[in-house]
Amino acid sequence: AQSVTQPDIHITVSEGASLELRCNYSYGATPYLFWYVQSPGQGLQLLLKYFSGDTLVQGIKGFEAEFKRSQSSFNLRKPSVHWSDAAEYFCAVGSGGYQKVTFGTGTKLQVIP
Amino acid sequence: DVKVTQSSRYLVKRTGEKVFLECVQDMDHENMFWYRQDPGLGLRLIYFSYDVKMKEKGDIPEGYSVSREKKERFSLILESASTNQTSMYLCASSPALGSEQETQYFGPGTRLLVL
């Protein structure tokens, strides 16, 4: 069965600093990988996704993620964080077909001035 | 833009009540999903549907049922609400074919409190 681990429950960064959120997955074949963001009281919005091809994926709001098969990781990065990036971030893995997508437990990002 | 709407943002019900949560999507998506979200547990899949009148159990279907009579509408039913069903409920939809099938689009969520 597929699984996702987000080892950091909370992360605090200063505005303007760089950000990396960690995500490790477990799946036997090439997975479909996603990052979603959830602002307080809202639903989830897709930031970016990886299905195949270039392992460095660009998303919305200046985010990017890199698929590293050897490390079973799909870490999310942003070079300079803005106060509006404060939210909860979810990594997810899917396997194609009608299989479900499995979500991680989320990382809550706090941005301090 | 894909739009997924949920009938209520906040709902307060009493133990034992029958509760209906409605979800509507406007992009002709084949697949629809219901999740519940709890702190520290992330999103857990309750039920999903890949076609009208079709449904599949997710990871935590106990105490819930679903209905999909029309393609655009997917309802979650709590037959007899209990306090441990207090949670945020998220609906999502996704298209059927190709790699885009795996991209789910979410509604704003319904925060349910069962007293």
At residue A28, the pLDDT reads: 74
At residue B102, the pLDDT reads: 67
pLDDT category, B25, cuts 50, 70, 90?
A: very high
Residues of B with Cβ-Cβ distance to A97 under 8 angstroms: 101
Residue B60's identity, in one-letter code, is I
Check if B60 contacts A (Cβ < 8 Å).
no
Residues of B with Cβ-Cβ distance to A106 under 8 angstroms: 42
Q: What is the pLDDT of residues B26-55, one digit of tens each?
A: 988 888 999 999 988 889 999 999 889 889
Helix/strand/coil percent split, chain A, to 5: 10, 50, 40
Contacts of A106 (CB under 8 A, 6+ apart): A6, A9, A38, A88, A89, A90, B42
For residue A25, the tally of other CB atoms under 10 A from its CB is 19
At residue B100, the pLDDT reads: 59
From A111, A106, A113, select the one nearest A21 (Cα to Cα). A106
| Residue from the list A49, A94, A100 with its beta carbon closest to the beta carbon of B48 | A100
At residue A96, the pLDDT reads: 63
At residue B84, the pLDDT reads: 96
Q: What's the mean per-residue pLDDT of chain A? A: 91
Inter-chain CB proximity A46 and B42 less than 8 Å: no
Q: What's the mean per-residue pLDDT of chain B? A: 91
